[in-house]
Amino acid sequence: MRVLVAMSGGVDSSIAAAMLRDDGHQVVGVTLRLWGGDSDSGCCSVSDVDDARRVAQQLGIDHLVFNFADDFDRHVVAPYVADHAVGRTPNPCIECNRHLKFDRLLERARVLGFDAVATGHHARVVRSRDGGHRLERGADRAKDQSYVVHVLDQSALARVLMPVGALTKAEVRARATELGLRTAAKPDSQDVCFVTASDGRHGFLGRRIELHPAEVVDDTGAPVGRVDAVELVTLGQRRGLGLPGGGPPRFAVEVDVAGRRVVVGDRSQLLDPVTYVDRVGWTSEPVVGDVLVQTSAHGRSSAAHVRPDGAGGAVVRWEEPHPRVAAGQSVVLYDLDDRVVLGGGISRRAGAEPRPSAAPHPVGRD
C-alpha cells in the first residue's frame, strides 16, 4: 500500500513512518508548511521541516513538503482571530486537523495516487466487523489525542492510519532511540503554533484586532476588578481578572465583549444542566441516548444524554450539572466504555443562534 505519512518533525510521526515502512508499505513522508511567521511551540518552524527531512533520510524514504499556508490562514488563523473578537474561545488545532490534515492532505494524497494518509496521533482507527471503521482512544490514556481528531467521518477513517495509537509514549521514544532517530528525545509540541511564548495571545491578537479594557463585576453588579482585554477572557478563568487577594476563589461566569464587562462568581455559578452544540459530525451514525462527553483536550469524560436538535447540532443534557463550556470549544462524544469516539461539535452559548455549517467534516475536496 502506498502511504503518505504526515511528518511534523516530532517523534510520534517519525515512528509512524518507521512502523509503516517496516510493515512493508511504500512510504513517503510529507511535511506541511502552514505558518510562515514566528513559532517557538515545537511545530510549524523551519527546524521542524529539517527534522522531518533528516528522519526521512535516516529511514530511507522520500520526503515532500506541501505549502498549505493560504489554507491555514483562511481556515485556522482568521477564524481564531474572528472568534476572539466576539468572545468565543476557539480550538485552532482541531480546525487544523479538520481542514488541513484530514481534508486538504487527504485530497492531495488521492490525486497523487496514495492509498492512505498516516499521522502520529495517539488514537486508533479500527476496522469494524461490518466493514466500517471506528475511531478509538490511544493506548496511552495520558497522551490520548482522540479528542482533537474527532472530526473524522467514515470516508476519512477508511483512508487514515494512526500506527502509534497502539503504543505508549515511552514505547514510541524507546523505538526512536533504538533506531537512532534525531527526534527520539525531542519535546512534544504545544498548542497554537502561531502564538509564541514571548508574544502571547495579547501581542498576536493585538496586531490584528482592537482589544478593549473591561470592568469586572460580581453578581450584584459591583465593580471588583478590571482587565486590559476582554477579548482574551474565557469562561471559567480565575487568574488575570484584577481581583483583590483573599477570600474564596472567583471565576469568570459571563464574558460580555460587546458590553465590555466580565461577571465573576463562585464555582457553583459555572454549572449548567445543558450544553448546546453546533456543527455536529458523527464518526458513523447519529446517536441518541446516554454517552460520555469530553469538553477539553485533557479533561475527564462526564455522563450525559445526547440528542440531535434537527438543525445539524445537538443538545447535551448532563447527568449532573457540568461546568459551562465556553462557546467555541469542542464537545466530543464517546461510548459508555469511554473508548470509541461517536462524534463531536462546537459549543455555543445558551440563547445564541446556531452557527450553520454546510459540512462539519469537509473531506476529499480540493
pLDDT score, position 129: 87
Residue 157 is assigned to a structural domain of this protein: yes
Count structural domains, the chain: 3
* Co-location of 103 and 156 in the same domain: yes
Provide the domain limits for residue 285.
272-348
Question: What DSSP state is assigned to residue 148?
Answer: G
Residue 215 is assigned to a structural domain of this protein: yes
Residue 100 is assigned to a structural domain of this protein: yes
Residue 41 is assigned to a structural domain of this protein: yes
* Co-location of 316 and 260 in the same domain: no
* Co-location of 285 and 245 in the same domain: no
What pTM was computed for the model?
Answer: 0.92
Q: pLDDT digit string (tens) for 98-126? A: 999 999 999 999 999 999 999 999 999 99
Answer with the one of 161, 179, 197 that is the final residue of a domain. Answer: 179
Question: What DSSP state is assigned to residue 155?
Answer: H
* Co-location of 58 and 154 in the same domain: yes
pLDDT score, position 130: 87
* Co-location of 142 and 237 in the same domain: no
Residue 362 is assigned to a structural domain of this protein: no
- State the Cα–Cα distance between residues 242 and 248, nearest whole angstrom: 15
* Co-location of 295 and 158 in the same domain: no
* Co-location of 265 and 296 in the same domain: no
Residue 149 is assigned to a structural domain of this protein: yes
pLDDT score, position 38: 62
* Co-location of 84 and 49 in the same domain: yes
193 catalytic residue (yes or no):
yes
* Co-location of 276 and 264 in the same domain: no
* Co-location of 153 and 33 in the same domain: yes
> Per-block average pLDDT, block size 10, for the chain (366 residues)?
96 98 98 78 73 97 96 96 96 95 96 98 94 96 97 97 98 98 89 84 95 96 96 95 89 96 96 96 96 95 96 96 96 98 91 51 43
pLDDT score, position 361: 45
* Catalytic site residue from 43, 44, 93, 193: 193
Q: Give the pairing type, strands 2-6 and 123-127.
A: unpaired
93 catalytic residue (yes or no):
no
Residue 365 is assigned to a structural domain of this protein: no
Provide the CATH number for the domain around residue 284: 2.40.30.10
- State the Cα–Cα distance between residues 339 and 294, nearest whole angstrom: 12
* Co-location of 234 and 277 in the same domain: no
pLDDT score, position 199: 86
Residue 200 is assigned to a structural domain of this protein: no
* Co-location of 166 and 230 in the same domain: no
Q: pLDDT digit string (tens) for 51-68? A: 999 999 999 999 999 999
